[in-house]
Amino acid sequence: MSGARDVWVLAAQCPSRLGTVDVVTRFLKEQSCYITELHSFDDYQGGQFFIRAAFRPELAGFSEASFRDRFETRATEFGMSFELMAPDYRLPVVIMVSKADHCLNDLLYRYRTGQLSIDVRAVVSNHPDLEPLARWHDLPYHHLPITAETKPQQEAQVRQVIEESGAELVILARYMQVLSPELCRHFAGRAINIHHSLLPGFKGAKPYHQAYDKGVKLVGATAHYINDDLDEGPIIAQGVESVDHSHYPEDLVARGRDIECLTLSRAVRFHQEKRVFLHGRRTVVLAG
């Protein structure tokens, strides 16, 4: 996305039909808006069209409300749904963690330095360990312990914190609890998870030690939207790195942490910049 402070983003999708690109680009020209970035994709199998345009108004007095009203008329003709994002929009988020600090630390650093255009409203955890890190960033920290018996009550508290914060995205930055199907459905398309993704996949305890025992040659991570199938939600971003026989389990863990941080931050950025479109159980990511 352009670094210019006056760049807006229009993201839209509709059924595939003639004129889908034209309805966006022609409208922007008519509104004296200069397109700085344009990406589109037509899924001929699914019959759906996706487009994202970053643009800069060329005339003074640009009105968001007027733009929305006028484009709504054009979009309706195509059955097109759309989102309009203003310049310097900061996505309000809540971050959920357990004990591992690498993803949280990376996200908060990118937040503090402006690399991610997010507004962190709170940190939620089932452990007290990372409260000093959140406090250092002057962020509210909600320690909400959980057991099998208290899971419904704890998830109700989690949901209350998120809703009262006004967060539009929940980031599970190594939150090591399985969310209930009900909570997953409530935050569908609004919660991103990160987990190790090794080839082959290793589930359970010490996945990197399992990988070492098998002599893997690739380690990786996957960032995806949550759903009620464990780690099976629509994928947003993946990272992978080559390793070899000289990498011991602790080396794989270190590599994995780095990849998890990069992959999660990339997924959050794609979501914040309106580059991700949910398409059934898949995503379309217009990342350029």
Same domain, 79 and 222: no
The DSSP string of 156-193 is: HHHHHHHHHHT-SEEEESS--SPPPHHHHHHTTTSEEE
Same domain, 136 and 223: yes
What is the C-alpha to C-alpha distance for residues 13 and 86, in angstroms, rounded to an integer? 19
Read off the pLDDT band of 164 (50, 70, 90): very high
Count CB-CB contacts under 10 A for residue 133. Answer: 16
Tell whether 65 is covered by a domain: yes
Residues of the chain above pLDDT 90, percent: 83
Looking from the CA of 242 toward its CB, the CA atoms found within 13 Å total: 1
Cα–Cα distance list, 260 to 72, 113, 185, 219 (Å): 39, 19, 24, 10
What is the C-alpha to C-alpha distance for residues 47 and 130, in angstroms, rounded to an integer? 46
Residue 203 pLDDT greater than 80, yes or no: no
The domain spanning residue 52 has which CATH number?
A: 3.30.70.260
Helix (H) and strand (E) counts for the chain? 8, 13
What is the C-alpha to C-alpha distance for residues 64 and 125, in angstroms, rounded to an integer? 38
Read off the pLDDT band of 281 (50, 70, 90): confident
Q: Are 87 and 5 in contact (CB under 8 A)?
A: yes
- pLDDT per residue as tens digits for the range 50-79: 999 999 999 998 999 999 999 999 999 999
Tell whether 245 is covered by a domain: yes
The domain spanning residue 163 has which CATH number?
A: 3.40.50.170
Read off the pLDDT band of 204 (50, 70, 90): confident
pTM of the model: 0.92
Across the range 113-119, mean pLDDT stands at: 97
Same domain, 165 and 224: yes
Q: Are 188 and 228 in contact (CB under 8 A)?
A: no
End-to-end CA distance of the chain: 9
End of a domain among 33, 66, 85?
Answer: 85
Residue of 43, 129, 231, 251 marked active site: 231
Count CB-CB contacts under 10 A for residue 124. Answer: 23
Give the model's pLDDT for residue 288: 67
231 in catalytic set: yes
Q: Are 219 and 256 in contact (CB under 8 A)?
A: yes
CB proximity list for 136: less than 8 A, separation 6 or greater: none
Same domain, 46 and 142: no
Across the range 173-192, mean pLDDT stands at: 94
Pick from 252, 253, 167, 184: which is nearest to 224 by CA? 184
Domain span holding position 63: 8-85
Pick from 283, 230, 218, 282: which is nearest to 256 by CA? 218
Residue type, 70: R
